[in-house]
Amino acid sequence: MADEGLVEDFHAQTTPERHIPHPIVFWDETLRDGEQTPGVHFTPGEKLRLATIMSEMGISVINAGIPVVSAEEAEAVRLVAHAGLKAKILAAARTVPGDVDAVARSGATHIAIFVAASNVHLRYKLKMTQDDVLRAATNSVRQAKDAGLHVAFVTEDTVRAPFDFVERLYNAVKEAGADRLVIADTVGIMTPVTFRWYLREFRRRIAPTDWSVHCHNDFGLATANALTALEEGVTSPHVCVNGLGERAGNTPLEELALCLEKVYGVDTGLDLSRIYELSRLVEQISGVPVSATKAVVGYNAFSHEAGIHTHGILAHTLTYEPVQPEVVGRQRRMILGKHTGKAALVEKLKERGMELPDPVLVDLLQRLKASAEKRSKSELEAFLQEYRMLFEQPGMSDADFWKLVDEMGLGAKAS
């Protein structure tokens, strides 16, 4: 068994002062940003199934989607919002009156009103001035508050926007009644050091009482940046199961939760034992495979083959595992292959109550290694080829698109 007290003792001696809030408000974005992963589509029933497990696990806020996207999306939000879940159900809206109305009609109690803030977004995407954005934002916040909604205000690309504008905009929406302020690192350019400075400056200029961060993983820093935000007192981190989301995805729920519980020693209030169950369900219905080496939920996260490692694990799990796999609903696997050692083989033979003399054990081990080295890679190569083809074109294929165009007779109209 692992002596997790050793991990806690080490961390207590090496961690600087932190201001992690209690409770932490986990805001899950799997059903919204996660569904924006290229090629991913959740049905209303699938969204409800996922939201139910998240709520049972202790997730505080669930973004069910953007009602104005489509009739099916509006139905999905209504279904989740009226399911009687313990979690607060949120829906998202642009700074457009019709979007806010759609959220109010959906039955969601919370709304995330979003608008871009950086110069590149305002100039090339929105074609709006800063004053235009500020006016639309404050009007939308007031509209949502009048509708009785809890309002989170989000800016896309917050960290690349001029700080003077960020200060002016967020103070204006705060005065208009926004309940929660959300900072977004939309293209994942923050590092823990730069994000710590940014958050402290944001707090100095705007003095938020309830604030949140939305971190993207373009440079693999989403989890580290979310942890930095919590250290600075941010109350509500955005997460996605399996790290789904646009491009390289968002802060993975499983990574952030386990880091907080087992590295920081913070009680998240989440039922960690259901993390793997939720991960596998998201993998199944999203169609996006989890990487074998993905932290916490990857297939190899608690697997061991190398002889030195398996020998250490059999002696004491803390040698090569920082946490017991059962904590997140998993089991340890000992893999037999080229790198297997005698200790793992002895343990495997115990499954049939077998004990072999050392010479026979050595012979068996040599045969096992030789067999592993001779295995054909043809099946693996075929799988990888199919996998690559699937994700090179995750959405509608060109052939299907042009077939749809032809069925509508659009080609004839164009000519």
68 Cβ partners below 8 Å, 6+ apart?
Answer: 74, 93, 94, 96, 98, 99, 102
Q: What is the pLDDT of residue 41?
A: 96
Residue 295 phi/psi, 5-degree rounding, is -60, 140
Q: What is the pLDDT of residue 14?
A: 47
Closest among 339, 350, 271 to 310, alpha carbons compared: 339
- Copy the structure tokens of residue 143: 């509209």
CA 242 to the chain's CA centroid: 5
Residue 329 phi/psi, 5-degree rounding, is 75, 30
CA distance 25 to 87: 10
Sole residue written with tokens 């989301």: 245
- Copy the structure tokens of residue 399: 């052939």
How many other CB atoms are there within 10 angstroms of residue 382's CB atom?
A: 10
Closest among 301, 305, 292 to 372, alpha carbons compared: 305
Q: What is the pLDDT of residue 6?
A: 53
CA distance 128 to 148: 28
296 Cβ partners below 8 Å, 6+ apart?
Answer: 252, 254, 255, 258, 275, 279, 328
Residue 26 phi/psi, 5-degree rounding, is -75, 120
Contact indicator for 150, 111 with CB cutoff of 8 Å: yes
Residues facing 185 on adjacent strands: 215
CA distance 390 to 384: 10
What is the rounded end-to-end Cα distance, in angstroms, of the chain? 73
One digit per residue, the tens of pLDDT, for the chain of length 415 reads 445 555 555 555 545 567 899 999 999 999 999 999 999 999 999 999 999 999 999 999 999 999 999 999 999 999 999 999 999 999 999 999 999 999 999 999 999 999 999 999 999 999 999 999 999 999 999 999 999 999 999 999 999 999 999 999 999 999 999 999 999 999 999 999 999 999 999 999 999 999 999 999 999 999 999 999 999 999 999 999 999 999 999 999 999 999 999 999 999 999 999 999 999 999 999 999 999 999 999 999 988 777 677 767 777 887 778 999 999 999 988 778 888 878 888 888 888 999 999 888 888 888 888 888 888 888 888 888 888 877 877 878 888 899 999 999 897 666 5
How many other CB atoms are there within 10 angstroms of residue 397's CB atom?
A: 10
CA distance 144 to 97: 9
Q: What is the pLDDT of residue 414?
A: 64
The answer, yes or no, to whether the previous bond of 23 is cis (omega within 30 of 0) is: yes
CA distance 265 to 7: 9
Residue type present at position 397: S
- Copy the structure tokens of residue 224: 């580290």
pTM: 0.88
CA distance 313 to 310: 5
CA distance 248 to 33: 11
CA distance 121 to 117: 7
Residues facing 240 on adjacent strands: 252
Q: What is the largest CA-CA distance in the chain?
A: 82
